[in-house]
């Protein structure tokens, strides 16, 4: 892998995971830099955070393209332009298509706010609370064609407290999730990885 490794980060919202990566990349020893940030919508804090760090941004809204396939092609081309070693979905609320996965499926990772395979989808913390689990957390994984189904890189657990609301649990998970993302991305770019069936190994 190149040194520093080139990261493209995809966001749809507040971008706190992106910010954690930007902060980590300020240390040359981390081994990576964010070369671009992409979004599926305008007017989000994630894009402001990128701009504040001098990182180029691009926006590909699904509705700006005639078909979902056209959107997937545009997103793939925009990401490819930055020649990423790793593409990171950090709160990116879109499922990419076949073309994107053909181009980056070996290096496209996503952070999700539940302990997969429990509670995939858009409402991990809410679904965990409703189910009554006592432990929740976050999962970092390589994206495949399913919804939150790909090979798992790392998981971190946090307690669910009796007085938790969706907001308090979400925030507790996000704090652990950011640390995990920074730690795992650094290890991936510095040490590489192998995927054997579903088993991800960082040497």
Q: Which residues are catalytic?
A: 112
Residue 157 to residue 155: CA distance in whole angstroms: 7
Shorter beta-carbon distance to ligand GRF: residue 18 or 35: 18
Residue 18 to residue 123: CA distance in whole angstroms: 20
Report the residue from 177, 186, 188, 193 that binds ligand GRF according to the rule CB under 6 A. 177
112 near ligand GRF, judged by CB under 6 A: yes
Residue 115 to residue 133: CA distance in whole angstroms: 11
Residue 154 to residue 159: CA distance in whole angstroms: 17
49 near ligand GRF, judged by CB under 6 A: no
Element at 111 (helix H, strand E): strand 108-112
Window of 28-36, 110-118, 152-160, 192-200 that interacts with ligand GRF by CB under 6 A: 110-118
Contact 200, 116 (CB under 8 A): no
Element at 158 (helix H, strand E): strand 152-159
Q: How far is the CB of 67 from ligand GRF (least distance, A)?
A: 25
113 near ligand GRF, judged by CB under 6 A: yes
Shortest-Cβ-distance residue relative to ligand GRF: 91
Catalog residues that contact ligand GRF under the rule CB under 6 A.
Answer: 11, 13-18, 46, 90-91, 111-113, 174, 177
């Amino acid at each position: 892998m190149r040194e520093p490794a080139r990261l493209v980060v995809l966001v749809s919202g507040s971008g706190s995971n992106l910010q954690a990566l930007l902060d980590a990349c300020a240390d040359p020893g981390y081994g990576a830099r964010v070369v671009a940030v992409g979004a599926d919508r305008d007017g989000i804090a994630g894009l402001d955070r990128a701009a504040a760090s001098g990182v180029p941004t691009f926006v590909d809204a699904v509705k700006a393209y005639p078909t979902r396939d056209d959107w997937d092609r545009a997103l793939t081309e925009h990401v490819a332009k930055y020649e990423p070693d790793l593409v990171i979905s950090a709160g990116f609320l879109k499922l990419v298509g076949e073309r994107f996965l053909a181009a980056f499926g070996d290096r496209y990772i996503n952070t999700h706010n539940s302990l997969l395979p429990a509670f995939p989808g858009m409402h991990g913390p809410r679904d965990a609370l409703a189910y009554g689990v006592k432990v929740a957390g976050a999962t970092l994984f390589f994206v495949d064609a399913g919804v939150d189904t790909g090979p798992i890189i790392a998981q971190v657990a946090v307690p669910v407290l009796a007085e938790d609301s969706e907001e308090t649990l979400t925030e507790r998970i996000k704090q652990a999730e950011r640390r995990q993302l920074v730690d795992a991305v650094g290890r991936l770019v510095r040490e590489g990885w192998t995927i054997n069936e579903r088993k991800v190994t960082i040497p």
